[in-house]
Structure 1
Amino acid sequence: MPTDYARTDASVRTIVLCFIVAMLEGLDLQAVGVAAPAMASTFALSPAALGWVFSAGLFGLLPGAVFGGWLADRLGRKQVLIVAVVLFGVFSLLTAHSTTYEQLLAARAVTGLGMGAALPILIALSSEVASPGLRNLAVSLTYCGVPLGGAIAALIGMLSIAGDWRLVFYVGGFAPLVIAALLIVWLPKPPVLQGRSLGVGAVTHELLGQRRGVSTVLLWGACFCTLTVLYMLLNWLPTLLIERGLSRLDTAAIQVLFNVGGVAGSLLAGRLMDKGNALLAVVLAYVGMLGALLALGSVAQTYGLYLAGLAAGGCAVGGQLILYALAPRLYPAQVRATGVGVAVAVGRLGSMSGPLAAGQLLAAGAGVSGLLLAVSPLVAIAACSAAVLLRRTA
């Protein structure tokens, strides 16, 4: 029987490895946004065509999240996570070697499949290994790897020699292959869970039955709206800022601050939830998100935009962390990764819609301010859904 020290050591290793994988996922998620201006020039892409490049990876995230979580519940968290990490590493490298628009879209789609499978497993693992009083913080520590990886992607973009857009995909490709080897050796094998033989019908009953139906729908709605806004910012923020007249250096700096804010927002939201202040976390995240969107569209001073980017990252990522921390609470262990995966997948519908809708609105001449104003109602819907969900899970 494992000692307390052994259990603590296994928990720490699990959370650290989950954090690293999340960081690599964040790097790859924002790689396209970082590379977008140079990539658009290389492939002669219009804003609408560039929107499809952003969304191609997100199309892969959707089935990846659903089936990755389901397979993890049936076959084991560790095995499926390793396969997912290898998958998005290999196809990130293939993104760098794409020579046509069609190859680019295909590489991004399969990369997204691997990333989609990984995220619900990371959330489920970090929630399961932490003690009850630190569960939300453990999830936030894992998830803050995503914005930190995005900040690294932005830094790579700033340091790219001669503006070579492929460099960020090389880093995002080789690093996961190294980490996959470390997962094989160091990631403790989670305990065997009962109920992995549940079929689709039984899983549906577990997610929507047992008095969980309303909470599940609220979670899905909040994830959809929050991820629509978050991924619009993740993918289009560099292009939007350049259109406002900022230099590439200032744009990259604001993108770094966006991700640094995401790390801080994730950690703050998780700690507030563990301290019993979850409603305060929701208010800060979503009211702050509205204010940050307004500032990004209207503030003229560069330093004001720096602060707006920092706040936007903290609030958008913090809001999504609240939902990811709530999700594992709703479901029993045998369908936990599946439940989280389906919630992530529904959110991915929003993450696909955001970049595409933004591309179409910009192509129609909406402008930066009009675009940011158009997504504000989604922030309000997400805030209301999250607040009601908190009351139901209290």
Structure 2
Amino acid sequence: MSDDTVQSGVVRVTQLVDEQRIGRFLISIMVLGFLCQIGDGYDLAAAAYAAVGIARDWHIERSLLAPVFSASLVGMMFGAPLFGFVGDRFGRRAAIIVCSTMCGLFSLATAGAHSLLALAVLRFFTGIGLGGLPTNTIALMAEYAPARARAVLITLMFMGITLGGTVPAVVAALVPNVTWHLLFLVGGVLPIVAALLNFAFLPESMKFLALRDPRHPQLITLARRMRPELSLPDKASFIIATRNAQRFAVRMLFEGKLRWITPLIWMLFITNLMSNFFLNSWMPTLLHASGLSPAQAAIAASMYYFGGVVGGLAIAVALDRGMLGIVGVFMLLACPAVAWLGTPGFSPVMLKLSVFLVGVTVLGNQLGLNSVVGLSYPTAIRANGTGWALGVGRVGAILGPLVGGQLIHAQLPLRLLFLAPIAPLAIGAVAALILRPLARDRFARVEPAQAAEERAAAEDVHADDAHAARAKSA
């Protein structure tokens, strides 16, 4: 940031953020978001472990629990846009704390459920909180991260989901004869601890605050924490490119170029989540049918998440260099990778390699899409835009396992079963390639239009201050 800009008493927030070094302040925000995602990943994975124990203790068929546990996915579908509205209206920080607390409390209550109805209701409300968490953590990270590393930092934050997904297995390994009650108790404690840490240490988004009031008292404190090397005046005005603080309406997601960008992003989330949840639901069946031992199957399944980390980081690095087309390329690569996964007669080593490649392309793309949606919307509607994309995308998450179940019921061979995700992945690839030229400017290191708007806003503030000074002297 130039000395002229600082001395003038007007601070351009985008420039302030983009020129920061990646230090303690920024890393702490990423870590706090990471902790929230651990609870998210844990809850989704713990349901599969808990279902076995519930079916045994309640003397019911495990198939009866499928619609019960899908209640959390339905809750996420509603929670994402709901808390997107909350985040854009009342702040990302408040929404994150409420969502994390909500996840924890309803998960703790689930540990004491005694009926399928109670279990379904509690899982639904847990899902509402789970749906709101990524909506606001994405928005907050996107607004604090510098443009040169924004996608990478968002993706690193979302690695918490992959770590959280492994915790139930660790709990089951460390605690002999672990009960389903304990699984939900741990799932309740993790997000409550995350909520307390976020309450104590998480700052509100500077861009959100600047939209509400360019002279908000928190702004100067946060700016000095972010950029301690700068000499900032106590009464500085903080300018953001768009100062549109009007009440959100869904039509705002379809204004200007967003009328094309929003449907394409929704299509990407639906198709990739459908493929991701399809694979998560039916990969254990494939591994069992391949004759792997339980230990070999666990290692093979972990390769999916390891591949997701590798693929997600690769996509994030490309996105930070403006290469939005990488999403479509990975979706195209996912088609042969998924088809190869269903090939019979693989050795254990080849099967693990195949699972890894599917993780790179499918799960890695899902992590990358979190960055895409976070960067595609302006600050004023970022949480709402992210929330609606995640909520609509849950339609795919619900349909994926259902489609797989119907194919299994039709006694389709595994070789053909794993051809099913190719259709949504191909559709998603086309959507990604269409999106590329439309949203390219949102992924540039320097956004000329935004910079021009901030300069114009700064000039307006200077004019207002000069007018007020003349009036006072008169």
Normalised by the length of structure 2, the TM-score is 0.75
Q: Does the 8 Å CA contact 1:82/1:180 hold for their aligned counterparts?
A: yes
Question: Within 5 A, what are the aligned runs for 1:104-123?
Answer: 104-123=119-138
Select the structure that is richer in helix: 1
User: Aligned partner of 2:148: which letter?
Assistant: G
In 1, distance between residues paired with 2:339 and 2:90? 42
Distance 1:102 1:301, change over 3 A: farther
What is the rounded CA distance, in whole Å, between the counterparts of 2:205 and 2:280 in structure 1? 33
Residues 65, 344 of structure 1: 8 Å contact kept? yes
User: Is the CA contact 1:361–1:371 (under 8 Å) kept in the aligned structure 2?
Assistant: yes
List per-residue Cα deviations over 1:302-357 (Å, max 9, x = no partner).
22222222222222222122322121332211110000110111111111111233
Determine if contact 1:150/1:256 at 8 Å carries over to the other structure.
no
Aligned twin of 1:318: 364
Q: Distance in 1 between matches of 2:435 and 2:127?
A: 29
**Secondary structure of the corresponding residue to residue 113 of structure 1:** helix
Structure 1, gaps ≥5 residues long? none
Q: C-alpha separation between the residues in 2 aligned to 1:265 and 1:140?
A: 10
> Using the alignment, how far apart are the partners of 1:300 and 1:96 within structure 2?
40
Determine if contact 1:48/1:360 at 8 Å carries over to the other structure.
no
The one-letter amino acid paired with 1:110 is F
> Equivalences for 1:55-204 in 2 at 5 Å?
55-162=70-177, 164-191=179-206, 192=209, 193-194=211-212, 198-200=246-248, 203-204=249-250
The change in CA–CA distance for 1:120 and 1:233 in structure 2 (over 3 A counts) is same
Give the partner amino acid of 1:87: M
CA contact (8 A) 1:28 1:172 kept: yes
Partner Cα separation in structure 1 for residue 335 and residue 162 of structure 2: 16
Distance 1:103 1:381, change over 3 A: same
2:275 pairs, out of 229, 233, 254, with: 229
Contact 2:327 2:432 in 1 (8 A): no
Q: Which amino acid aligns with 2:83?
A: G
Alignment of 1:320-335 (within 5 A): 320-335=366-381
User: Comparing 145-154 with 65-74, which one deviates more in the overlay?
Assistant: 145-154
Residues 156 and 167 of structure 1 are in contact (CA less than 8 Å); yes or no, is this contact kept in structure 2? no
Query: Which stretch shifts more, 290-299 or 351-360?
Result: 290-299
* 1:14-51 Cα distance to aligned partner (Å, 9 max, x none): 11111111122111122223444444444556575343
The 5 A counterparts of 1:212-361 are 212-280=258-326, 282-288=328-334, 290-296=336-342, 298-361=344-407
Shift of 1:240: 4.5
Query: 2:449 — aligned with what?
Result: none
**Secondary structure of the residue that 1:62 maps to in structure 2?**
helix
Structure 2 residue matching 1:298: 3-state secondary structure: coil
Structure 1 range deviating more: 349-358 or 292-301: 292-301
Deviation digits for residues 70-99 of structure 1 (CA, Å, limit 9, x no counterpart) = 111001111111110011112222333333
Question: Which stretch has the larger CA shift, 38-47 or 176-185?
Answer: 38-47
Residue identity (%): 31
Q: 1:387/1:93 Cα in 2 relative to 1: closer, same or farther (>3 Å)?
A: same
CA contact (8 A) 1:151 1:255 kept: no
SS at match of 2:70: helix
C-alpha distance in 2 between matches for 1:166 and 1:243? 30
Q: Report if aligned partners of 2:331, 2:425 keep a CA contact under 8 Å in 1.
A: no
The letter of the residue matching 2:357 is A
Q: CA deviation at 1:204?
A: 2.2
Rounded to whole Å, the distance in 2 between the matches of 1:341 and 1:391 is 23
The residue type equivalent to 2:370 in the other structure is Y
Mean CA deviation greater in 315-324 or 47-56: 47-56
- Greater CA deviation, 30-39 or 109-118? 30-39
What letter corresponds to residue 318 of structure 2 in structure 1?
L
Amino acid at match of 1:331: Y
Q: Does residue 20 of structure 1 match 2:66?
A: no
For 2:199, give the aligned amino acid: I
Amino acid at match of 2:399: S
Paired residue total: 392
- Most deviating of 126-135 and 161-170: 161-170
User: Is the partner of 2:417 in helix, strand or coil?
Assistant: helix
Which region of structure 1 is more displaced relative to structure 2, 107-116 or 26-35? 26-35
**1:270 Cα offset (Å):** 0.4
Q: How far 1:183 moved relative to its partner?
A: 0.6
Inter-partner Cα distance in structure 2 for 1:375 and 1:246 = 23
Distance 1:52 1:299 in 2: 33
Partners of 1:28 and 1:281 in 2: CA distance: 27
Write the distance in 2 (CA, Å) between the matches of 1:95 and 1:242: 30
CA distance in 2, matches of 1:101, 1:293: 37
Q: Which amino acid aligns with 2:287?
A: L
In structure 2, distance between residues paired with 1:245 and 1:43: 30
Which stretches in structure 2 are left out of the alignment for 5+ residues?
A: 1-5, 213-242, 441-474
Alpha-carbon distance in 2 for matches of 1:7, 1:322: 20
Could you say if the C-alpha distance between residues 253 and 94 of structure 1 is closer, same or farther in structure 2, counting changes exceeding 3 Å? farther
**Higher Rg:** 2
Tell me if structure 2 keeps the 8 A contact 1:140–1:325: yes
Q: Is the 8 A contact 1:75 1:196 kept in 2?
A: no
Aligned residue type for 1:234: N
Between 16-25 and 293-302, the greater mean CA deviation after superposition: 293-302
- Alignment CA distance shift 1:303-1:160 (3 Å): farther
Report the aligned-residue RMSD: 2.7
